[in-house]
Each structure stands twice: as structure tokens, then as C-alpha cells.
Chain A
Amino acid sequence: GAVVSQHPSWVICKSGTSVKIECRSLDFQATTMFWYRQFPKQSLMLMATSNEGSKATYEQGVEKDKFLINHASLTLSTLTVTSAHPEDSSFYICRLPEAFFGQGTRLTVV
């Protein structure tokens, strides 16, 4: 069974709106969650690391005000893409340190 549950699996939204993606850890106490983005024919790129009870750590070039990360509990980490634009269309996926990925969210901004 799944170790990490990610929702939604896909979403289509209008430009300018915000989208929230959730990752729930089902079997582990997730003090840390990694958030990746994958564009077509490109590798998974680490965007940020969320830490339970503290601020997320963002990779260079990732706008923290645009990609809001919240890790309020040991089982839930969320990524909110704010004011989404077509260039944000991508595959977003979370990962536990124990090497388990969520199912991924395919975001299309129109």
C-alpha cells in the first residue's frame, strides 16, 4: 500500500489562481518532506525541503513567496502554488527521506 498519499493527482486551473497540493505520510512520522518538480523530458528538480514546525528550506532560484510550503504536523505537508501561470504547469511530487514518493500531481495552468 501507499506510504505517502498525494492529492490531487491532477488539476487544471486558470492563470492567476492558487493551487494547494497535499502530501500525507501514512506510515511514518514525517519530520521532513521533499518537494520536487519535473518538466517534460527533464529530471526531478528539488524545489524545497519542508520541516515540521519550522520554515521550509528553498533551493536556489525557487521563489518562496510563490511556492508556499506548510508542514504543520508530522503527517501532512502542503505545497501551494500561488498566482499560477502557464509556465508553472508541471509534475509536482513529494518524497519522504525514506525514499518513498507521493503519487505526484500534474498541474496544468490555462
Chain B
Amino acid sequence: RKEVEQDPGPFNVPEGATVAFNCTYSNSASQSFFWYRQDCRKEPKLLMSVYSSGNEDGRFTAQLNRASQYISLLIRDSKLSDSATYLCAAQRGYQKVTFGIGTKLQVIP
């Protein structure tokens, strides 16, 4: 079983839609969680950290459910520019970060 699992998609959604991605992690020792955005053939860029209480940054909301060991990312009012692959990541200890395969989002006009 992969340490971090995501549905690779693709998710094709119309502009303005709300879309949610889930990600599960298998190692209960994971302490910190992140969502990254990766554009085609580019490096991943940190989108947001995920906190137990849930956190919001503009149109993006991230949540963590430790009991069920999953994290989620909600994107409201999707824009064409949101089209990308979204990677979730789980961190154990000080530095070891494991990434999911990424979920591809395509926002269509």
C-alpha cells in the first residue's frame, strides 16, 4: 500500500465549479500535511499547509481528519488558471516528506 494515495483523475470541471480532492495517508506517525500545485513539466509549488482545525486561503480550503487519516482540498469558483496537478504530501519527523501521485484538474470554459 502506498504511503500517500490520491486519485490521479483527471477531474474535468467547468469554470466556476467547486471541486474537492481527497488524499489518504497510511502512516499514523505523519505529523504535517501539505498541498502542492504542479504545472506540467514544472516544479511543485507549495499551495498550503494543512492544519487540524482546517484552514482557508481565498478560494482554497484544506482540512485534515486524523481519525480517518485523510486530507482534503476544496477549490471554490474554479478558474481556468487552476488547471494543474495537485499533490498532497505527508511529513514524518523533521524532514521526510512523502508525496502522492497527484490529482490532475482541468478547468474547462
In this assembly, does B75 line the interface, its C-beta being within 8 Å of a C-beta of chain A? no
In the complex, residue of chain A having the shortest beta-carbon distance to the beta carbon of B102: A43
- B contact face: mostly helix, strand, loop, or mixed: loop
B41 at the interface (CB under 8 A from A): yes
- Residue A35 lies at the interface, judged by CB distance under 8 Å to chain B: no
Please choose the segment from A60-68, A69-77, A95-103 that sits at the chain B interface, where 4 or more of its residues have CB less than 8 A away: A95-103
Chain A residue numbers with a CB within 8 Å of B100 are 43
Interface residues of A (CB under 8 A from B): 6, 32, 34, 36, 41-44, 46, 49, 91, 93, 95, 97, 99-104, 106
A99 contact from B2, B34, B41, Cβ within 8 A: B34
A46 and B96 form a contact (CB under 8 A): yes
B30 within 8 A of A: no
Q: Is B98 an interface residue (CB 8 A)?
A: yes
A36 to B44, CA, bound (A): 12
Interchain CB contact under 8 A, B44 and A44:
yes
16 interchain pairs (CB within 8 A)?
Answer: A36-B99, A41-B8, A41-B101, A42-B101, A43-B2, A43-B87, A44-B44, A44-B99, A91-B41, A93-B43, A97-B95, A99-B34, A100-B46, A102-B43, A104-B42, A104-B43
Given known contacts A43-B101, A44-B87, A106 and B94 CB-to-CB distance under 8 angstroms? no
Q: Tell me which residues across on chain B come within 8 A of A34, comparing CB atoms.
A: 95, 97
B43 touches A106 (CB 8 A): no
